[in-house]
Amino acid sequence: MPRPSNTSERQEQIVLGLLEVMAERGYERSSVAAVARAAGLSPGLVHYHFPAKRSILLRLIDYLADGLVERLEGRLAQLEAPGDRLAAWVEAHLARDAESDPRRVACWVGAAAEATRDPEVAAAFRSALERSHAGLVELVREALRARGMSTRPARSLAAAIQASVQGYFLLSLTAPDAVPAGSASSTLLGLLEGLL
């Protein structure tokens, strides 16, 4: 009687272990042993379910993107007005509510740093980013159209918004005092308001 595979549960368990450890120590210093401990598993088992440490990170990046997309879709579902929808995108990223998890932000920025030197991580990171960015470009285009403006600068504008969001992530981790509490999403939306 074959034993049912539990690889996907275990993998998620391990990814959550990395999420926890990496938020604290960064990727490089998250030893496989520590990740295993955080996941409540034996060190050997990690390599039974993942071929290498790096592949856990790749999966974690996906996992973070999944969470974001889900959150985004929840907020977009009920909105019609282009302006509202764009605002919802920004808030899904920047709102610090019960759902949001600072560990996720820390891992995300850590993954970005890792992407800087590892091509495989870079690809995963880009593709994860793309999942929210493609939607953003479209939302910007809608908003421009709704106000009768040219959609030409849509990509540049989307890039500016994305950059702001990523930058807020980074600042919230490294220099939170520089960002007045709660100002992030409202200020960014204000800037957009001005332009549109």
Partner DNA sequence: GATGAATGAGACTTCATTCAT
Partner DNA sequence: AATGAATGAAGTCTCATTCAT
Given the rule CB under 7 A, which residues bind DNA?
Answer: 1-7, 10, 29-34, 41-49, 51-54
In one-letter notation, the amino acid at residue 70 is E
122 contributes a contact to its own copies by CB under 8 A: yes
> Residue holding tokens 């605002």?
87
Cβ atoms of 141 and 157 within 8 Å: the answer is no
148 contributes a contact to its own copies by CB under 8 A: no
Nearer to its own copies, 16 or 113 (CB): 113
50 contributes a contact to its own copies by CB under 8 A: no
Mapped onto helix, strand or coil, the DSSP state of residue 81 is: coil
Integer Cα distance of 179 and 144 in angstroms:
28
90 contributes a contact to its own copies by CB under 8 A: no
Binding residue (CB under 8 A) for its own copies from 15, 72, 109, 139: 109
Integer Cα distance of 180 and 186 in angstroms:
11
Cβ atoms of 145 and 151 within 8 Å: the answer is yes
- For residue 31, give both structure tokens: 């030893």
Nearer to its own copies, 76 or 112 (CB): 112
- Give the footprint of its own copies on this chain (CB under 8 A): 24-26, 28-29, 106, 109-110, 112-117, 122, 125-126, 129-130, 133, 153, 155-160, 162-171, 173-175, 177-180, 183-184, 186-188, 190-196
